[in-house]
Chains A and B, each alone.
Chain A
Amino acid sequence: MIQIKVCCGLNCAAHGGQELLALLEESGDLTGRVEVAPVPCLHCCQEGEQSPVVQIGDEIHTRVSSEQLQETLEQLMKG
């Protein structure tokens, strides 16, 4: 099971994080394969990284767009 943490700190929430979370939660065919967890600020924003931030497994992705998320997921599910 892949764990995806979507940052829901203020910075990320105001910079599109909520849309990403909604996108993941509304995607029925991810159930059982991906675990989606909203998490508080991952502190990437304080290190100058661009929001929104999503952590897939151990990897941190910054300035994530819906298209990128979709692409990354597709790759993950294949591989």
Chain B
Amino acid sequence: MALPQLDIFEKMRGLYTPVMSIRRRVLVAVARLIREGKPAQAIEAIPYEIITHNTPTYRDCVFKERAVARERVRLALGQDLREFGAHEPVIDHPEPSLTDHRVVEKPYVAVIKIACERCPSKSYIVSDQCMGCVARPCVSVCSKNAVKVSGGKSAIDQEKCIHCGRCAQVCPYNAILYRERPCESACGVNAIGADSEGFAEIRNDKCVSCGLCVVSCPFGAIGEKSEMAQVLHAIRSGLPVWAELAPSFVGQFGPLATPQKILAAVRALGFAGTAEVAYGADIAILEEGEKVLEVYRARLADPTAPQTFVGTSCCPSWVRAARQAFPDLAHCIQDSSTPMVETAKRIKATDPNAKVVFIGPCVAKKAEVSELREARIVDFVLTYEELGAIFQAAGVDPAEIPDEAVPAEASTAGRAYPVAGNVAQAIAAAARHHAGEPLVDLVHRTAESLADCLGLLKEIQQGKLKPVPHLVEGMGCPKGCIGGPGTLAPLNRAKAAVASFAKAAPMEMPKASEE
């Protein structure tokens, strides 16, 4: 009997690994310390709580294991990492982190150099499976003369190799392997390189903070800064802290934690109130639906004019990557308020003193918040992983909390937003509804993962994509927000949970206010 492999889009993502375990335990320890109001000096003890053994278990030495945990503590507090090699205590000045307002600054994603194993970067190598055959197709197929035979086996001259991969394709024994740094291959915008010593290095001018390298490094050498400490402080100091939960929150804490239970559990942590970001998604659907209709009509009126399109606004890493790589198409990417902002506006309209925490699957939202035109609309960003750590530190289990009825705040279309493809479907449906006709030749395309997003834009720019879609849905994470780096649930479960919660919404499509 064979169990099928899970449908995972990255090798590391769908499995529970010691890297995740350490990351989560650090978050729980920091959350506990702040919730219990322990003195700042207690921070120093966290690496020893995480790495309790005295013999190396994960790395070559236990001191290194603790040093890595130490860096993770800094990230969990929202602090910058130490300069590699510099002598410093875990936290020399904890005070700035132990506050109730936003202190986290760029870069949001950083390499923990002491944990980086300097993996080999892009190369084809001949493994010991090489039989040294007589045919030697690898030698003949290489146009650069990079494959030589030495000691009876093939060897690749890395200076000459141009990584075309043809030798690997023709080897009858599959003896030629392609190696790539997992962080580099996860990065869709080519922001990861190596420093002079070969340690991974993030080019901050290119990085869009999507966070996919964080969950792809098998050594746990990349991390993201957290705002958990500041959120917990704000709650402790009695401020009205509201949580707005991204539509992908359903199903994140196991099948027994229903959406109603999760919302109730969040309030049990001391949040003043909760809101569904799907409400803001509904507003975005209507706004972007109108824009799509405008584009559609403009093309009909003048088919010879340069063809524009509507690029969706909800995914911050797609928006940044697209604007960065294709400045001449930037005007097509919407800058209407995102679902996160619209929902926050509504919360602040009811309670102007509210501090709003966006809780979602996304690391890039941390960057988006710092760049918002209206400052302080959203005060903090947490991921589901960080929320899970707070639940654990507080001893609140969403699976066991009594159900509380929650007023339905959004439509099926808004709640279905976190699954790739649904965003474009909903916006196109809104455009049709607005037009009052089926718009049969309305074309929309969805791209998942930044590499695909940029590939699609390139085709549009080079005029290779005909017809140019009226609507392009860009999703930085494969499968959409349910595949975000801050999620906890496997993709298929998350997808099913989102679908059934969406179905339970009181209306299928959002209604414009005048209707």
Contact surface of A with B, Cβ cutoff 8 Å: 8-19, 21-24, 26-30, 38-41, 52, 65-66, 69-70, 73-74, 77
Determine whether the beta carbon of A14 is less than 8 Å from that of B392: yes
**For the complex, what is the distance from the CA of A15 to the CA of B488, rounded to whole Å?**
9
Main secondary structure of the interface of A (DSSP, over half): helix
Find out whether the CB atom of A38 lies under 8 angstroms from the CB atom of B255.
Answer: yes
A27 to B399 CA separation, bound complex (whole angstroms): 25
Give the distance to chain B from A51, nearest Cβ to Cβ, in Å. Answer: 9
**Interface readout for B481-509 with A: 1 if CB under 8 Å, 0 if not?**
00000001110110000000000000000
Cα distance, A27 to B492, chains bound together (Å): 13
Cα of A12 to Cα of B400 in the assembled complex, Å: 13
B403 at the interface (CB under 8 A from A): no
Are B6 and A13 neighbours in the complex by a CB distance under 8 Å? no
What secondary structure prevails in chain B residues at the interface with A? loop
Q: Which residues of B contact A52 (CB under 8 A)?
A: 16
If the complex has contacts A10-B388, A10-B392, A74-B1, are A16 and B397 also in contact, measured as CB distance less than 8 A? no
* Interface residue? B253 (CB, 8 A): yes
Determine whether the beta carbon of A8 is less than 8 Å from that of B493.
Answer: no
* Bound complex: CA A74 to CA B391 (Å): 35
Q: What's the least CB distance linking B490 to chain A, in Å?
A: 4
- For the complex with contacts A9-B397, A11-B397, 11 further pairs of A-B residues with Cβ separation under 8 Å are A8-B257, A13-B399, A15-B16, A15-B21, A15-B24, A17-B254, A27-B4, A29-B1, A30-B1, A38-B256, A77-B1
By a CB distance below 8 angstroms, the chain A residues around B493 are 18, 21-22
Interfacial chain B residues near A27, Cβ < 8 Å: 1, 3-4
**B256 partner residues in chain A, CB cutoff 8 A:** 8, 38-40
- Give the one of B15, B254, B256, B257 with max A CB within 10 A: B254
B21 nearest CB neighbor, chain A only: A15
- Name 29 A/B residue pairs within 8 A (Cβ), A-sorted: A8-B254, A8-B255, A8-B257, A10-B253, A10-B257, A10-B388, A10-B399, A11-B392, A13-B253, A13-B254, A13-B388, A14-B24, A14-B385, A14-B488, A18-B489, A18-B490, A19-B14, A22-B493, A23-B4, A24-B3, A29-B2, A30-B1, A38-B256, A40-B256, A41-B399, A52-B16, A69-B3, A70-B3, A73-B3
How many Å from the CB of B17 to the closest CB on chain A? Answer: 8
> Considering residues A17, A18, A27, which has the most beta carbons from chain B within 10 angstroms of its beta carbon?
A18
B400 engages A9 (CB within 8 Å) = yes
Tell me which residues across on chain B come within 8 A of A41, comparing CB atoms: 397, 399-400
Q: Is B469 an interface residue (CB 8 A)?
A: no
Say which size band chain B's interface belongs to.
20 to 34
- Contact check, A8 vs B6: say whether CB atoms are below 8 A apart: no
> A26 — which chain B residues lie within 8 A by C-beta?
3-4, 6, 492
B254 pairs with A22, CB closer than 8 A: no
Contact B1 A38 (CB under 8 A): no
Q: Which residues on the A side are within 8 Å of B361 (C-beta)?
A: none
Q: Which residue of A lies closest to B24 (CB)?
A: A14
| 3 shortest interchain CB distances as A-B pairs | A16-B16, A13-B254, A8-B254
Is B398 in contact with chain A by the CB < 8 A criterion?
Answer: yes
Hey, what's the 0/1 contact readout for B1-42 against A, CB within 8 Å counting as 1?
Answer: 111101000000011100011001000000000000000000
Cα distance, A18 to B491, chains bound together (Å) = 10
Q: Which residues of A contact B253 (CB under 8 A)?
A: 10, 13-14
**A66, B391: Cβ atoms closer than 8 Å:** no
List residues 375-423 of chain B with CB under 8 A from any CB of chain A. 385, 388, 391-392, 396-400
In the complex, chain A residues whose CB is within 8 Å of the CB of B257: 8, 10, 13
Write the chain A residue with the least CB distance to B7. A26
A58 to B398, CA, bound (A): 26
Give the distance in Å from the alpha carbon of A46 to the alpha carbon of B16 in the complex.
Answer: 20
Judge whether A10 and B15 touch: CB under 8 Å: no
Q: A14-B388, A14-B488, A17-B254 are in contact. Are A9 and B399 (CB under 8 A)?
A: yes
Return the chain A residue nearest B493 by Cβ.
A22
A40 to B397, CA, bound (A): 9
Most buried by B among A14, A18, A27: A14
Residues of A within 8 A of B254 (CB): 8-10, 12-13, 17-18, 21, 38
Complex CA distance for A15 and B490, rounded to whole angstroms: 12
CB of B399 within 8 A of CB of A19, answer: no
CB-contact partner of B15 in A24, A30, A66, A70, under 8 A: A66
With a CB–CB cut-off of 8 A, which chain A residues contact B488? Answer: 13-14, 18
**In whole Å, how far is A77's beta carbon from the nearest beta carbon of chain B?**
5
Contacts of A13 in B (CB 8 A): 253-254, 257, 388, 399, 488
Across the interface, name the chain B residue whose C-beta is closest to A69: B3
B286 → A minimal CB distance (Å)? 34
Cα–Cα distance between A73 and B3 once the two chains are bound (Å):
9
Flag B212-249 by CB within 8 Å of A: 1 or 0 each: 00000000000000000000000000000000000000
Q: Smallest distance from the beta carbon of A38 to chain B beta carbons, Å? A: 5
